[in-house]
Structure 1
Amino acid sequence: MGGTAVVVGGGIGGLAAAIGLHRTGWDVQVLERAGTLADAGAGISLHANGLRALDALGVGPAVRAASRPQYTGGTRTPEGSWLSRMDGAALERALGTPIVGIRRSVLHGLLRAALPAGCLRTGVTVTGLDRTAPDRVGVPVGDGMLDADLVVAADGVGSRLRGLLFPGGAGPVYAGSTVLRAITERPVRLRCDFELTWGGGAEFGHIAFSDGRAEWHAVLTAPAGVRHADPLGMLHRRFGGWHDPIPHLLDATRPQAVLHHDIHELATPLRSFVAGRVALLGDAAHAMTPNLGQGACQALEDAATLAAALAHEPSVASALARYDAERRPRSQAVARAARQAGRMGQRLSHPLAVALRNTGLRLAPSRVTMRAILRHADWTPPALG
């Protein structure tokens, strides 16, 4: 099956969906609201399920070549003692690949490069859809209308299209945490590829990149909308007494490089990822907290699954029904697990609760940690061809 498709949103999920559709014979246009592609964002970890989805889409090798494998790391206390360690080599034996770290800008660039020239249009805001025809969807663009056999709504956690498709439905809510992140200005010496450190109501983590620099993030329990005149100075005061390399990472960061975003999620699951000939994908469908590092991976799974369904099913309607049946239960289960992980991790603040959590992690056998990762990362994409 082939046809014309419009993807609304040029993020990771939207670009991946467009790649999958293009590879299976669809004429695709991606409409991105941003006027320029500034490649905002810091870094990202990709688990085996995300990498396998990228393999199915044909861009896995390029992403791996630009990434740094995460073989060493784990979770620590602010004083530096280990709560649990990550065995990346064991994960690679179990899944065929380690977790990898990559800059978001690099990943975006690789996804864009896999699309034909002219496929991506920037500076286009989609505020509505014309769904009056049974076999077409109209997408208003400027003074004109794009007619499509399929629309993919990949317009993020604050999706306008989701609100149009499910009026009165629950939208995104503040998850209770805010995150500041940046990429260091220069290479830094790190003992581990990946680390998380949990304190009371706070988390600090880093991802090492192949060029020697690193992404770091700080998650804080805080009211929504709180901002700081000097974010980096606040972080120095908040985390300056935590173990190395945390102060070193902050020292290697330019103040203007720090990004600050509140974390929102779809706490009330959608009853469907499909409305007529429109499919919701990525954060528009299942925005989740970042505690499992699965947000982008689930969007990549969406993209591969949607493309495969459209390649094999006899109609758009049956393909979208298959997509919804395969993706909604899994992605919503991962979202629930991510929310619970946050409650047991950074969101804990009472000293007794933190102490009990830390003791439990130290006593847990390594195979328990491995099973927790495999539960979400061990996913096999459907074949596109």
Structure 2
Amino acid sequence: MSTLSSQDSGIVIIGAGIVGLATALALHKKGIGSVVLEKAESLRATGAAIGIQTNGWRALDQLGVGPALREKAVRLQALREVFLDNGQTREARLGKEEGRYLLRSDLLQALFDGLPAGTVRFGCHIVKVKTDPVTSHSTLQFHDGNVAIAKILIGCDGVNSIVGESLKLKPTRDAPTGALRGLANYPNGHGFGNDYVRIKKGSVLVGRIPVDHKSVYWFVARPRLPGDSEILGKPELIRQEALKEMEGYPQELTEMVEKSDDSALTFTKISYRAPWDLLLGNFRRGTATVAGDAMHVMGPFLGQGGAAGLEDAIVLARCLAKELCMRPNGDYDGRQLVNKVGKALDEYVEERRMRVARLSLQTYLTGILVATSSMFVTRLIFLVLRILFRGSFSHAQYDCGRL
């Protein structure tokens, strides 16, 4: 296992997922070094693909990886919705909005390749974080009993964040919806075009999204069931469950599930942080904070979780760079420096709070639409969304600014 030395423990990021790597890369581009601790032994892409909309591509361009990643995914042309219960269809052309679905492995690798060698330390399993009340530094306790000190700590460690726990954030909540996901491969091309298609029947929503001309990402969102825990991590059971939920759907969708690789089949119990908890939560303690899902995990119904995390990375690096006078070998000693870090993290939290709270609320309401089969509830939620949010793609028009 890799451990930290006193010379390289200035800024520590926990978690080498998308947001952890993006934060390290953003800091690197501002001339600020960091160490990323990952408990796995190598990069791991949880889930097959991830949607990135206009706001996310703006962040990726700031990180310098946008152009190369665009070559790996087709640009979506329209969102097409089909309601099998009443035969209605609805289509929205994306126009200037840029939406693409990337393989998670491609995105992770692009971010990782932009970092200096040795930035990411694999096999580092953190089990506890404690803040020193005098220095504001964080003590990290490893699984093997070793400890290290982080003078600035950024938790990008997902839903069950150790750093979030140390900040005493309220627990995340379980959504009433579960999601089956997969990636279908068509060696000779799928021929589906470049539209994002969503088909709803009752309380089940099926999505089909092209990644490129030979790969299609799909999902089945449906109410949680008592036996869901039995299919976790079991690809063949996930496939069978998806096919069962797709009874009565077009045959091309069931064929898509049958063509999917076992390695890409997943089932997720969707969880979220309530919008009101985001408005009231304390996301900074001393010189520690959180980003990505550790701060604002939300359902997948807007496809904004990953992009919002990329925004976090840009804003956090920008705020830290504005306040810090970087010194060699991670030398961040002194109460004045602690005050500067605190100010930077407060600015970051304040800038992100309302943005992610609005995203979370819109996602929460959209999730109700997915879960309900009631026409009254559907019309009510559509009305509320129309009042609170301007346009179907307004959430994607946000610009987190320059790095």
Q: Is the 8 A contact 2:85 2:201 kept in 1?
A: no
Letter of the structure 1 residue corresponding to residue 27 of structure 2: L
Cα drift, residue 163 of structure 1: 1.3
CA deviation after TM superposition for structure 1 residue 126, in Å: 1.1
Count of equivalent residues: 367
Summarize the alignment of residues 136-147 of structure 1 with structure 2, pairs less than 5 Å apart: 136-141=137-142, 142=144, 144-147=146-149
Displacement of 1:145: 3.9
Q: Tell me whether 1:77 sits opposite 2:46 in the alignment.
A: no
CA distance in 1, matches of 2:67, 2:88: 33
Deviates more, 1:176-185 or 1:307-316: 307-316
TM-score in terms of structure 1 length: 0.87
More displaced, 253-262 or 72-81? Answer: 72-81
- Contact 2:77 2:93 (C-alpha < 8 Å) held by counterparts: yes
Give the match's secondary structure for 2:243. helix
Candidates 337, 349, 357, aligned match of 2:362: 337
Paired residues for 1:1-385 under 5 Å: 4-78=10-84, 81=87, 83-88=89-94, 90-92=95-97, 98-132=98-132, 133-134=134-135, 136-141=137-142, 142=144, 144-166=146-168, 169-186=169-186, 187-223=189-225, 226=228, 227-228=230-231, 230-243=237-250, 245-255=252-262, 257-267=264-274, 269-270=277-278, 271-313=281-323, 315-344=340-369, 346-350=370-374, 352-353=375-376, 371-374=391-394, 376-384=395-403
Q: CA deviation at 1:82?
A: 5.2
Query: How far apart are the structure 2 equivalents of 1:13 and 1:208?
Result: 24
Q: CA deviation at 1:255?
A: 4.9
- Distance of 1:254 and 1:66 partners within structure 2: 19
Deviations, residues 205-233 of structure 1 (Å, cap 9, x unaligned): 02211241111111111236613473222
Residue identity matched to 1:139: L
2-structure distance, mates of 1:312, 1:255: 46
Structure 1, unaligned runs of 5 or more: 93-97
Instruction: Give, as a single letter, the amino acid of the residue that structure 2 aligns with 1:347.
Output: A
Per the normalisation by structure 2, the TM-score is 0.83
Give the Å deviation of 1:184.
0.9
Per-residue deviation, residues 280-316 of structure 1 (Å, max 9, x unmatched)? 1011111111111111111111110001111113521
Larger displacement relative to structure 2 (300-309 or 189-198): 189-198
CA-CA distance at 1:383 after TM superposition: 2.5
CA–CA distance in 2 between the matches of 1:313 and 1:252? 52
Q: Distance between the aligned counterparts of 1:307 and 1:224, measured in 2?
A: 43
Aligned residue number for residue 95 of structure 1: none
Q: In 2, distance between residues paired with 1:111 and 1:224?
A: 38
Q: CA deviation at 1:20?
A: 0.9
- What letter matches 1:343 in structure 2? I
Percent identity between the two aligned chains:
27
| 1:17 CA drift (Å) | 0.7
On the 8 A contact 2:196/2:208 being kept in 1, the answer is yes
Deviates most, 141-150 or 101-110: 141-150
Structure 2 segments unaligned to the other structure (5+ residues): 1-8, 325-339
Q: Which amino acid aligns with 1:136?
A: H
Instruction: State the Cα deviation string for residues 175-231 of structure 1 (Å, max 9, x = none).
Output: 011111111133423144311112221111022112411111111112366134732
